Amino acid sequence: MENAIQNEISHIQIHHPRFKEDQEVQFSLDTPERLLMEVEQIEGVKSSTVRTIVNGMIASSHGVRGIQISGIIPEQEAAVTHLAAHLVEGEYLNEESKTGILISKKTAERLNLKLRKKVALRFQDGEYNLIDAGFRVVGIFETKNTAFDEAHAYVLRDQLNKNLDMGNIAHEVAILLYDIEDIDSVEARLKSIAPDLLVESYKVLAPEIELFNSQIQISTTIFTFIVMLGLIFGIINTMLMAVLERFRELGMLMSIGMNKRRIFAMIVMETIMLGLIATPVGLLIGLITMNRLSRTGIDLSKWSSGMKEFGISEIVYPDVTPDVFFQLAFAVFLTAFLASLYPAFKAIQLKPVEAIRKI
């Protein structure tokens, strides 16, 4: 999810209402620079960028492929998608390389391209005229999503606009937030600023990400339930043995006047104390483990080729919010309480005379 947001779609995107239907060039944003200035003034926005987007073909002497060409402002794009950090060869786009293009490693392999090689781009302008433009490969990038890499290439926005001959146009504003929790409030603010434009969060742009996130949450809940179920049986076994081993003592307490309510409460409190002692120890071990893994990561490079098809990094860095620790602590406390009921119920069923006589 984090890879997709940071490398591909950002948290929020703004388009012309009709642009997403067929991604036609003429459906551009009016005054994109002014819109960008208003976006950057919204609280919670970390960075933003404007893009000119056309769909076309990229060709070399070894083949032709369909591709989405994004005209970017290098400094802004680097702050939103960290594109510069994914370069494996060459250099990032700059104003000196007017006809420079960034292509993915996968595209370079399929078209047998290397640095400084020329490619031909073909796309349509706003009047559906075919435009041919020559570019030179200045950099090769590789993200964690093979499908995304194959479908995208980047050039300077000014140069792409010059080829389109449609003025200073832009088709997309991509926005990255400081905190994903602010996404609803920022989205609402953007809709009030630009009511005639299409404002969409990543949940709409890539619903599979939200589905994947919800599936992870459901899987985690099921896994936690299974662990807690095992914990219940473990506690029941421990406390039931404690009750059976203290038949005579419990019978003696009942015979000298200790009522069943206090016997019941005593067993419950013993079980809860068992949980209260074990919970901090377990959470501390978990915190230390997570702290280490969040820095070193979990190496899944053996399956990296298959994982990249789904946009998953070969190094996974687990991240656990403090809320999870509180939820687990509460779950253990509740589990301990529920597990204590059966042993406590067995304890109050004892008959004092029979319990005292028991060897």
Q: Mean pLDDT by 10-residue block, N- to C-terminus, for the chain (359 residues)? A: 76 91 87 90 91 93 92 90 88 88 92 92 88 93 85 93 89 91 91 91 82 82 89 88 80 81 88 87 89 79 57 69 85 89 84 67
199 plus 280 within the same structural domain? no
C-alpha count within 13 angstroms, C-beta hemisphere, residue 66: 2
Q: How far apart are CA 204 and CA 198, in angstroms?
A: 11
Q: Say yes or no: 235 and 288 in one domain.
A: yes
Domain stops at, among 183, 205, 227: 205
End-to-end CA distance of the chain: 62
Do 173 and 227 sit in the same domain of this protein? no
Predicted local confidence at residue 108, as pLDDT: 93
> 33 vs 16, 30, 37, 50, 145, CA distance in Å?
15, 9, 6, 8, 30
Determine if residue 272 is left, alpha or beta; phi over 0 gives left, psi from -120 to 50 gives alpha, anything else beta. alpha
Range of the domain at 19: 2-205
pLDDT digits (tens, 9 = 90+) for 106-120: 999 999 999 999 999
57 and 179 co-located in one domain = yes
Continuous segment of H or E residues that includes residue 219: helix 207-245
Residues 235 and 192 occupy one common structural domain: no
Number of domains in the chain: 2
What's the Cα-to-Cα distance from 257 to each of 47, 250, 260, 309, rounded to whole Å? 72, 11, 9, 71
Backbone angles phi, psi at 234, to 5 degrees: -65, -45
Do 314 and 272 share a structural domain? yes
SS3 (DSSP) at 294: helix
Q: Are residues 126 and 6 in the same domain?
A: yes
Picking from 205, 224, 245, the residue at the C-terminal end of a domain is 205
**Residue 200 sits in the same domain as residue 220:** no
Q: Are the C-beta atoms of 104 and 119 separated by less than 8 Å?
A: no
Instruction: Identify the pLDDT of residue 120.
Output: 94
Q: Which of 168, 183, 205 is the last residue of a domain?
A: 205
**Is 221 found in the same domain as 200?**
no
CA distance 133 to 108: 18
pLDDT score of 308: 55
pLDDT digits (tens, 9 = 90+) for 150-182: 899 999 999 999 999 888 899 999 999 998 889
What six digits make up the tokens of 217?
């949450």
DSSP β-ladder status, 315-316 and 63-72: unpaired
Residues 217 and 336 in one domain: yes
Same domain, yes or no: 201 and 216: no
Same domain, 98 and 238: no
